[in-house]
Amino acid sequence: MYKKNIQTILMPTIVALAVVIGMFINSLFIRRDTRDRQELFLPIQGSKVDMVVNMLKHSYVDTVDIKKIEETAVEALIKDLDPHTVYIPAEDLEKVNEDMVGNFGGIGVQFYKYQDTVTIIKVVEGGPSEAAGIKDGDRIIQVNDTVIAGVKMNDAKIMSMMRGQLGTDVTLTLLRRGEKPMVKKVTRGAIPVKSVEVAYMVNDTTGYVKVKTFGMNTYNEFMQAVEGLQKQGMTKLIVDLRNNEGGILPIALKMVNEFLEANKLILYTQGKASPRSDYYSNGKGHFKDLQLSVLINEISASASEIFAGAIQDNDRGTIVGRRSFGKGLVQEQRMLPDGSALRLTVARYYIPSGRSIQRPYDEGKEKYYKDFYLRAEHGELEERDSIHFDENLKYETVGGRTVYGGGGIMPDVFVPTDTVGYSRYLAELSRSMKLYEYTFDFMDRHREEIRQIKDYKELLDYLRQYNLVGEMVDYAAKRGVKKDAKGLKISYKVLENQIQAYIGRHVLNDEGFYPIFGMMDATLQEALK
């Protein structure tokens, strides 16, 4: 009885003690576990996005690719912003910046893959390959330990094998006509990326300069080109910005400045975190008296539109072509810790009349980038009258001419897409690449004869002895493009011009292509009137 009473009395105490001890022990485990977890989160002082990524990194049940998760997260963060705020992964940044920087690490050759054989079209003068003794026409059989002859490999892959860090070596196994295979070691160097593709005299008084992009070296290249044309008697200049998607804003401003008198507004920028900044000409330009025309089209964007818009709004020159793209947003490239970058939109730019030329993007990026196709569907590329402007976005140039904002620069002289000479036969020859292949084949067969040709005029004299169109038609027919007599008649002159121009590019680079192609370029010919 006593024993039972003792148990009855002590049992609640024992149970309570056990509970307390258990709570104490449990609390030790909880505190220790919490302390460990807190230590995991100590470095995180930021948004919940940072915290979630850290949780996945340290606490998720399985191993995950954190870098991939971060890349996906960044893309999601900017997905619904404007179309020009973009994320650039670290592995893509160097390639993306090439046009801006003006060079890349490589061996200095232009090549063409013809019938599974990589042939060097041009060796860059003064470049690493020339120093190694490589010549135009050499076939590349192998790059380092990888055979590239007779295998299916795209141009991008081949190019990536030849490009690389400055000072590193690449070993090429080459085959030269009439000789045994040879091995050449080439040390990669800085290969220039030209932003001014060509400059030449179209006639006795008119010069033509083609600007591909606005990069770090563009201003110096442009000045050298224009000054060189002035020495040849130029009094009128045509600046071709067609297909130029823009680039570095200050470079475009410096180039416009060369054509304006003092204190002319070129541009102003403004954004939520960027107070208004005005940019005026300083009056020190070298080409203030030069007659000027600027060529644009639906691909001309950003810095190209700044250049064309400043010239138009100041009534300084004539804009010729078709309505430009319509990009009026300013990006800054912000570097991220892993070597990637964010091109962040920080402001809008406004050209001298006060108009913004940014197209609306409130219906999403997909529709925004489909605008080119919508323009074609609406007939804008063929008829000026198909373009309708918002009367609420009407502005005036310095001289009182009416211009419109809300989507690109409308040229002073509209030139529709050139369809003269178009046929399905021409389209098939272009699509199948047979026209271009023939021009390479012709150049390769006549390489020794044309090696000494110095300019496009001399080349045209040489080519007149050949029936180029007839040869090309036979070449294409043997390779699956059936001859079309009706289409050939319609497109004969266009075909002849394109064949001559492409041979010109093989032989003389852009200095051989553009002067010949320009002879049937409707927009250029309109600017010459």
In this structure, are residues 148 and 141 in contact, taking their beta carbons and an 8 Å threshold? yes
Q: Determine how β-strand 236-240 pairs with β-strand 206-211.
A: parallel
The token duo for 463 is 């080519």
Q: Which of 82, 138, 313, 371 is catalytic?
A: 313
Q: Among all chains, which residue has been given the structure tokens 């992964």?
A: 89
C-alpha span between 182 and 163 (Å, rounded): 21
SS (H, E, C) 228-245: HHHCCCCCEEEEECCCCC
Question: CA 195, 201, 206: angle at the middle one, nearest 5?
Answer: 105
- Who contacts 443 (Cβ-Cβ below 8 Å, separation ≥6)? 121, 450, 503, 506, 507
Q: Which of 236, 264, 327, 434 is catalytic?
A: 327
C-alpha span between 472 and 485 (Å, rounded): 13
Positive or negative, the CA dihedral 20, 21, 24, 27 is negative
The token duo for 445 is 């067969």
- Who contacts 275 (Cβ-Cβ below 8 Å, separation ≥6)? none
Identify whether 300 is a catalytic site residue: no
Q: Which of 281, 302, 324, 353 is catalytic?
A: 302
Question: CA nearest 500: which of 451, 452, 448, 465?
Answer: 465
Identify whether 313 is a catalytic site residue: yes
Name the strand (E) or helix (H) holding 294: strand 291-296
DSSP character string of 320-365:
EES------EEEEEEE-TTS-EEEEEEEEEE-TTS---PPP-TT-H
- Who contacts 525 (Cβ-Cβ below 8 Å, separation ≥6)? none
Question: CA nearest 421: which of 376, 373, 362, 488?
Answer: 488
Q: Among all chains, which residue has been given the structure tokens 């093989």?
A: 506
* Catalytic (active-site) positions: 302, 313, 327
